[in-house]
Structures are given as structure tokens and as C-alpha cells.
Amino acid sequence: MALDEQIEQVANRLKTAQRMTVMTGAGVSVASGIPTFRGDEGFWKEVRPEQIATPQAFRKDPKFVWDWYDSRREKLKECSPNRGHEVLASWSNRFPDFTLITQNVDGLHELAGTKNVIRYHGSLWEVGCWEECPTSPHRWEDRTCPIPDHPPKCPYCGGLIRPGVVWFGEVIDPEVLVMSSQASRCDVFFTIGTSSLVYPAAGLVSDAKDHGAFTVEINTESTPSREVVDVSLVGKSENVLDQIELALSRSVSS
Ligand code: APR
């Protein structure tokens, strides 16, 4: 089926959807100027994840880890939401029960005005005490950028501060797991711009399908989710989402 026809099919299904859940990954932020992780120009081509995105890496060299995260924060400061983020933000108002689960730590969905965002892998704009000192909150917002001294110190205990993201080998916040699992019980589930390789996030689309959701993938390339979903839309999320939104507006007004 041609992409146009697939888009009509999806828009038709959306007309009656009440409960809608969207899972996003790095691909949705590419048009905002943020690299993916595993693409040709992805972050994991410039540095190996085990050198930078594990508790062991931080224990070994917190300054090296902070240099990298601070440079990501500096680049991110210049970035704004793209058309894909905007469409998803408008869906968060359109559908009566909408949840957006994002693996992205860039905060662009929130900046676009999306309601009900679950940050599966944390946020680049949050930090936490590495020692988990009893006086500090688990995570708090800190938008200081650039951070003057690497590694920065915890204002509560004077120990080290860590980036507020979930690293490889760490567990996802149990509350986030419960909320995401509940959200996967929905009428329509989208998985957008993610390689679907990192679990448990990658398992949510199958959960949704097993519970009867109509499932849709938007991606420029083939991923393991393509075998699972009802409809696979091949293209850039910023374009495909715009086209679905157009088809949806047409069908609602006709
Ligand atoms: N529109 C849609 N999809 C796109 C676009 C685009 N414009 N550009 C790239 N993609 C797709 C790629 O084809 C790829 O499948 O986005 C996906 C990005 O995959 P990854 O780089 O693996 O990013 P992601 O799936 O978000 O990574 C998951 O891995 O390292 C960790 O914690 C990090 O949250 C991240 C997790």
C-alpha cells in the first residue's frame, strides 16, 4: 500500500480513538538538530556507551562524563521543537486520554507543550546526588549551562552530582514502569523514531498489541518493531506526522 493510503488508514482509525499512547526515540529530534545514538553520525559513533553512559564510567572518571553531558546540554540549548513535536503536542489536547512516553532526555516534547509526558530515561536538565545523600531529592532541575566546574558538587552534601538520566545497567523508575505499562493498554499505540533495541522501552509496542491496540510505527528505516505493528509508515516523523495531521483535519471537517 502506498504511503498516502496508509496515512488515510491511520487517520481513519484515529477519528474514533479515545485512548492514545505514543512512544518516541531519538529520530523525532533529528529535525531539531540533535543526533541519534546509533545512526551514522550518532553519539555512539563518537564515544562508546560503556565509556560514558554507565555508573562504572562515572565512578571511574566523573569529569570525562560531565564534559560530555555538559556539551550535549550546550548544544541542546540552541535547539527547538520541530513539526513532529508540534503535531504530538496538539494530539495531547485532541485525544481524551493521551500519554507520550519518550526515551529522549532533551525535553523538546515538553517545550512544544505536550501534556502527560513520561520521561522513560530521565532528563538532561535534571541532576541527582551520586551518593544519594538523605537530604537531597532523588532528582532536581538544574539548567546551569555551561556548568562552571566539572564534576559539579552536590549542594546538599558536597559530594558529586550525576546527570539525571538513566544509564545502561540501571533500572527504570518503578513508577515510570507502572505508568507506561498502564498507558500501553490503549486504542492506538505509536512507536516513532526509535531503533526499538533498548529494553524495557522496546517491549511496550508488543504489550500494546497484545492488549488489542492498533499499532503504528513511523521510522526512516526498518526496526524489529516493523514485524509487530499493524501499519509501518516509512518516512521522517516530522513529515509523516504532519501528513497524518492534515488527513485527520480533513476527515474531521468533512
Ligand atoms: N524520523 C523518524 N525516524 C528517524 C528519523 C526521522 N527524521 N531519523 C532517524 N530515525 C530513526 C532511525 O532510523 C532509528 O531507528 O530513529 C531511530 C534512532 O535510533 P537510536 O539512535 O537507537 O535512538 P533510540 O531508539 O532513541 O535509542 C534508545 O538508547 O542509548 C540509548 O538511552 C539512549 O534513549 C536512548 C536509547
Residue scoring higher pLDDT (254 or 171): 171
What pLDDT, on a 0 to 100 scale, did the predictor assign at position 254?
58
How much of the chain exceeds pLDDT 90, in percent? 96
Taking residues 97-110, report their average pLDDT: 98
User: Residue 122 — left, alpha, or beta (φ > 0 → left; ψ -120 to 50 → alpha)?
Assistant: left
Written as nine digits, the cell of 194 is 526509535
d(CA 240, CA 3): 9
The average pLDDT across 128-137 equals 97
Name the band, by pLDDT with cuts 50, 70 and 90, for residue 251.
confident
pLDDT band, very low/low/confident/very high, at 252 (cuts 50, 70, 90): low
Q: What is the pLDDT of residue 88?
A: 98
Query: Which atom of ligand 1 sits closest to the CA of residue 84?
Result: 1
Say how many C-beta atoms besides its own lie within 10 A of residue 93's C-beta.
10
Mean pLDDT in residue range 62-83: 97
Residues 222 and 187 in one domain: yes
Mutate which of 28, 41, 69, 198 to test ligand 1's pocket (most atoms within 8 Å of Cβ)? 198
Respond yes or no on whether the N-terminal peptide bond of residue 81 is cis (omega within 30° of 0): no
**Would you place residue 81 in the very low, low, confident or very high pLDDT band (cuts 50, 70, 90)?**
very high
| Mean pLDDT in residue range 184-199 | 97
Q: How many angstroms separate the alpha carbon of residue 193 from the centre of ligand 1?
A: 5
> Ligand 1 centre and the CA of 43: distance in Å?
11
Count of other CB atoms within 10 angstroms of residue 251? 13
- Domain with 137 in it: 37-78+127-165
Instruction: State the CATH number of the domain containing residue 22.
Output: 3.40.50.1220
Cell triple for 204:
511496550
Q: Looking at the structure, do residues 154 and 235 belong to the same domain, yes or no?
A: no
Mean pLDDT of 181-207: 97
Query: Under DSSP, is residue 153 helix (H, G, I), strand (E, B) or coil?
Result: strand
Say if residue 184 is in the same domain as residue 92: yes
Question: What cell does 151 get?
Answer: 564534576
End residue of a domain, out of 135, 165, 195: 165
Residue 18 has pLDDT above 80, yes or no: yes
Does 232 lie in the same domain as 140?
no
Return the C-alpha cell found at 5: 493510503
Catalytic residue among 85, 109, 121, 150: 121
Residue to substitute in 195, 196, 240 for testing ligand 1 pocket (most ligand atoms within 8 angstroms of CB): 195
Shared domain check, 101 and 6: yes
Q: How far is CA 105 from CA 4, 41, 72, in A?
A: 32, 18, 10
Same domain, yes or no, for 188 and 200? Answer: yes
Residue range 142-149: mean pLDDT, rounded: 95
- Closest ligand 1 atom to Cα of 165: 32
Written as nine digits, the cell of 238 is: 516530522
Residue with CA nearest ligand 1 atom 25: 194
200 in the same domain as 142: no
**What's the total number of domains in the chain?**
2
Other CB atoms within 10 A of residue 147 CB: 17
129's enclosing H/E stretch is strand 122-129
- Based on the domain organization, do 30 and 70 belong to the same domain? no
User: How far apart, in whole angstroms, are the C-alpha atoms of residue 185 and residue 51?
Assistant: 37
> pLDDT for 175-189, tens place per residue?
999 999 999 999 999
CB count within 10 Å of CB 2 equals 7
- pLDDT > 90? residue 250: no
| Beta bridge mates, 99 | 21
Same domain, 90 and 182: yes
Atom of ligand 1 nearest to the CA of 236: 1
Q: How confident is residue 253, by pLDDT bands cut at 50, 70 and 90?
A: low
What number does the ligand 1 atom closest to the CA of 49 have? 30
Count of beta carbons in the 10 Å neighbourhood of residue 227: 11
**Nearest residue (CA) to ligand 1, atom 5:** 27
Instruction: Write the pLDDT tens digit of every residue in 21-62.
Output: 999 999 999 999 999 999 998 999 989 999 999 999 999 999
**Residue 172 DSSP code:** P
Alpha-carbon distance of 172 to 201, in angstroms, equals: 9
Whether residue 234 sits in one domain with residue 137 = no
Let me know if 85 is a catalytic residue.
Answer: no
Distance of CA 105 to the CA centre of its chain: 6
- Mean per-residue pLDDT over the chain, rounded: 96
pTM for this one?
0.96
User: What lines the ligand 1 site, CB under 6 Å?
Assistant: 25-27, 30-31, 36-39, 42, 49, 103, 121, 193-195, 197-198, 218-221, 223, 236-237
Task: Indicate whether 62 and 142 sit together in one domain.
Answer: yes
> Which CATH number does the domain housing residue 70 bear?
3.30.1600.10
Same domain, yes or no, for 109 and 21? yes
Residue 116 · residue 180 · CB < 8 Å: no
